[in-house]
Amino acid sequence: MRVRAHAKLNLSLDVLGRTADGYHDLRMVMQTVEFGDDLDVELRPDGQFTIDPGQGYLPADGRNLAVKAAKLFLDGTGLGADIRVAKRIPVCAGMGGGSADAAAVLLALNDLTGRDLDGQALCALGLQVGSDVPFCVLGGTALAEGRGEKLTPLSPLPDCAVVICKPAFAISTPELFGRVDGRRSRLRPDTAGILAALDAGDLPGVARRMFNVFEDVLGRRQGEIASIKSALTGMGALGAAMTGSGSAVFGLFDDPAAAAEAHQALAARYRECCLTRPWQPSGT
């Protein structure tokens, strides 16, 4: 079976504090987009697992989240799986590439085996692989809380063009969390305002409220992230933000022609740049 692993974006990201078990307590508005990886998943009867990760620098063994998901789903069945990834989602971008691949494997295996697990059961399996996997299983537009596993479906993001651009550097997630923990004053996203704008189908209202608290603690990388955001809004984006812990930045456009021009301009400067749209699972 071939299945699409949809990239995710954070329309907002807030860190509320730490939980009793040491995890960070998050509040995020998340969105899947059409852009993503394509995976071919095939069952095998001998219980073995293989993966072609699509890029030589990615793990091709049990460390790969797609393999972890396959082993978890098929545990006790005696079955294995061959997985081949056409990798497009940039690595270390904050776009959930590994989590999206794991979620796609769970969905594919659910169909291939005929187990017909519901979304809640698949999300529970996904959480054992990674905190973003449950959202990637469900897709669409959702409020994610806790570690990211507490999901509330939201009104869909209105259709628009999305330009995503990743600069040629990664950002350390643990380092960013450490900086957020040590910060006294904090700019916060207007999460309630985003939820109200989504309910109203107000794309400009969503776009102008997008904010990621990590943007405020980027250090020496802050300038380039700000430069990409400024370029996007200068070329017609209604709003722009960094997704996850970075380093990818995205902008929302209500004018497809302006989005195409922005994508062309940024693609001339940055190798990892794409033009896409929001994606919602069928039936939503």
Concerning whether 8 is annotated as a catalytic residue, the answer is yes
First to last CA, the chain: 23
Residues 6+ apart with CB under 8 A from 11: 28, 29, 30, 31, 157, 194, 206, 210, 241
Concerning whether 71 is annotated as a catalytic residue, the answer is no
Q: Considering only CA atoms, which of 225, 194, 217 is closest in space to residue 207?
A: 194
Given a contact cutoff of 8 angstroms between Cβ atoms, the answer to whether 30 and 135 are in contact is: yes
Q: Tell me how far apart the alpha carbons of residues 22 and 40 are, in angstroms, rounded to a whole number.
A: 37
How many helical (H) and strand (E) elements, i.e. helices and strands, does the chain have?
9, 11
The one catalytic residue in 14, 37, 101, 132 is 132
Helices 65-74 & 97-113, crossing angle to 10 degrees?
Answer: 30
Q: Tell me how far apart the alpha carbons of residues 280 and 140 are, in angstroms, rounded to a whole number.
A: 4
Given a contact cutoff of 8 angstroms between Cβ atoms, the answer to whether 161 and 250 are in contact is: no
Q: Tell me how far apart the alpha carbons of residues 279 and 154 are, in angstroms, rounded to a whole number.
A: 13
DSSP assigned state of 90? P
The one catalytic residue in 8, 68, 87, 229 is 8
Q: At 183, list the tokens.
A: 């910060």
Name the β-bridge partners of 38: 4, 86
> What are the residue numbers of the active site?
8, 132
